[in-house]
Amino acid sequence: VRVAILISGSGSNMVRLVESMTGEHPARPVLVLSNVPGAGGLDRARALGVPTAVVDHRAHPDRAAFEAALEEALAPARPDLICLAGFMRVLSADFVARRAGRILNIHPSLLPKFRGLDTHARALAAGETRHGCTVHEVTPALDDGPILGQAEVPVLPDDTPETLAARVLEAEHRLYPAVLRRVAEGDRTPLRLD
């Protein structure tokens, strides 16, 4: 199974995904693509020996042009699955529909709670005692597709958005590789990690 990983920043989730695809694992990383030139994850991908590409969304007049460039950069890699990992662009319904069920995303909340941004501050403001992350299939609606896995973390009384984000990120690093392996093996039953 050929996996392309899309990033926008440090790529810590991408690193864990790439490091998990070894030995008898049915998937292999074929491309790491960033919409941000110079994203830290690009150097980390190169250090791991994974081909990289940059498609700068600011270099394109609109979403359609950006996504055409995205398709062009993805084509040679022939990905079977696309993993969004800290990818901060919303993909159009057309782009998603062309790859129905073959785009995964990790979101730092226990969906359907806290779709969108600033999830940790919002979870704290809501007085949540449990929080976490979700891997889901990408559909045209934001952060809304079928859930493939979730990992829960406790919210502690003295948590700040930063301390909570760090705890969730650690859970992401456990959840995403576990879900990718199951999906690559053809198993899409939701996984629950605590």
Strand partners of residue 7: 34
Only segment of 4-12, 89-97, 122-130, 142-150 that touches ligand GRF (CB under 6 A): 4-12
Q: Which residues are annotated as a binding site for (6R)-10-formyltetrahydrofolate?
A: 63, 105
Catalytic residue among 57, 60, 107, 173: 107
For ligand GRF, give the closer residue by CB, 11 or 177.
Answer: 11
Indicate if 107 belongs to the active site.
yes
Q: How far apart are CA 185 and CA 194, in angstroms?
A: 22
Q: How far apart are CA 135 and CA 148, in angstroms?
A: 5
Q: What is the DSSP string of 84-138?
A: ESS--SPPPHHHHHHTTT-EEEEESS-TTTT-SS-HHHHHHHTT-SEEEEEEEE-
The type of residue at 143 is D
11 in contact with ligand GRF (CB under 6 A): yes
For ligand GRF, give the closer residue by CB, 14 or 138.
Answer: 14
- Find the binder of ligand GRF among 85, 96, 104, 164 (CB under 6 A): 85
The 158-177 site mask, x for binding ligand GRF (CB under 6 A), equals -----------x--x-----
**Helix 40-47 and helix 12-20: axis angle, to 10°?**
20
Residues in touch with ligand GRF (CB under 6 A):
7, 9-14, 41, 85-86, 106, 108, 169, 172
Task: Cite the active site residues.
Answer: 107
